[in-house]
Structure 1
Amino acid sequence: MRWALITDIHANRQAFEAVLADARAQGVTHYALLGDFVGYGADPAWVVDEVMALAADGAIAIQGNHDEAVVNGSMPGMHPDARAVIDWTRAQLNEDQLRFLGRLPLQAHGEPGHCLFVHANAFDPASWEYVQGRAEAVKSLHANNARVQVCGHMHEPMLYHLSGTGKAGDFRPLSGVPMPLPGHRQWLAIPGSCGQPRDGNPAACYALLDPAKSDLDDARITFQRVAYDVEAACAALRATAMPSAITERLARRLTLGE
């Protein structure tokens, strides 16, 4: 059993296609899709259709804050560009797609039961509070006894851990390097954004998770970076009916990974 952990696709078709192709090449058998399927990108309908197809085939799919916003209306606290894209996105989706996004759960457990998947955090998923550092990670880990938590929302890859004695740690993972997740600690992994990375590297992010087969085994995680056709994603943005000032800012963020 091997999981692909994919989050924050943000309607970026080119990035999602590249990640799915890499996941298949890596022998992935299961998918956990951790929300924010829409927002920022040019192809929300295509991305939602792909997520719906994967979910129909057994993938876990979780609601993100942008998914909620496109169903219920943009939130005042959102960045003005994000609100504008949410309003545009809603007009691109049909009733079935909106219904699917609206019915997504805020969290789910993965087989064999040692993993919790959630978009923002485990202590209050509906608040959309970010796991920005060790304090929030510990709070999230304390909220659930899952051996491994996987969160989206933050667009940079990160890995946190908590020992049985309460000692916490964190580090930025290296791409392509498998790391054991020993069972005597709890772990919180943030795969990073598939469709809009923000760590200065435009390559799409996701992670591979090999769950522990028993309580005596270690799980293993590998953070992946996948190059994709960023220029095509930018061209797709410029071809939409969104204001050019917005699409240029969004295209620049994709190009720079910010």
Structure 2
Amino acid sequence: MLNKSQPVEIIGVDADTLEKDETFPEAYAFYIELSDEPDNIWRSYLAKWNNALNAMQRKIEVVRDRLRLVFVYGDNIQNYDKYATQLVKWVNERVMEYNKKVDSLEKIELGKQGGSQTKEEEIRHQLKQLAPEPLPAAIEVTVKELASAYETDEETAGERFGNKILKVTGLVERIEVKDTLDINYITISEEGDLLQSVRCMFDKEHEDELNQLTKGQTVTVQGKFSGSIVQLRMIHCILVR
């Protein structure tokens, strides 16, 4: 972001300070006091006049909060002072024009930022629409409840549990881990009732976990139900413990 410049005003002449200057033969310098020390932008506009002043064997430079005016003996100092006053006025006008340009650029930049923020908000909204909906909570059910539901009304049970994520707790009755055949499942029942059991199918990466199980151990398994009254079965299971 560009910085603005500050105009300065002439507040007086230092009549007590007169210096010999080596820039030109028989050159001297006196000082005009300013309201503030000019910044670099103000100085740059003033410097544009130095070539013209040098041609007239004159020089104006900034020394902190003063202007140092170099002149040759015999010059009309009053006219030179008026010229310096007019020059300060001219520089201040250029500074004000510069500040207006800075204001315009800032407005353009703010407009771009606002447009960028609007675009970002639009993109975020689109990304939220792309985000998958959260998975529904798993339905907690016992082996007995699941089996009884299918025995009572298979159609109603299918609507309630079919393709749903279930969380079932029971006793491990059977463990099958066959790497070569890619068969990995356990059968869980409730209180050792083999007539009411659920087969839980696991993906290959869960082989080590299944090998650590023992028959009769109580486990909680979560998976997608894909069975029927013929066989209660869950796929893509994980051990919840």
- TM (norm. structure 2) is 0.19
Larger-Rg structure: 2
Higher strand share: 2
Which fold has the larger relative contact order, with Cα–Cα distance below 8 Å and residues 6 or more apart in sequence? 1
- TM (norm. structure 1) is 0.18
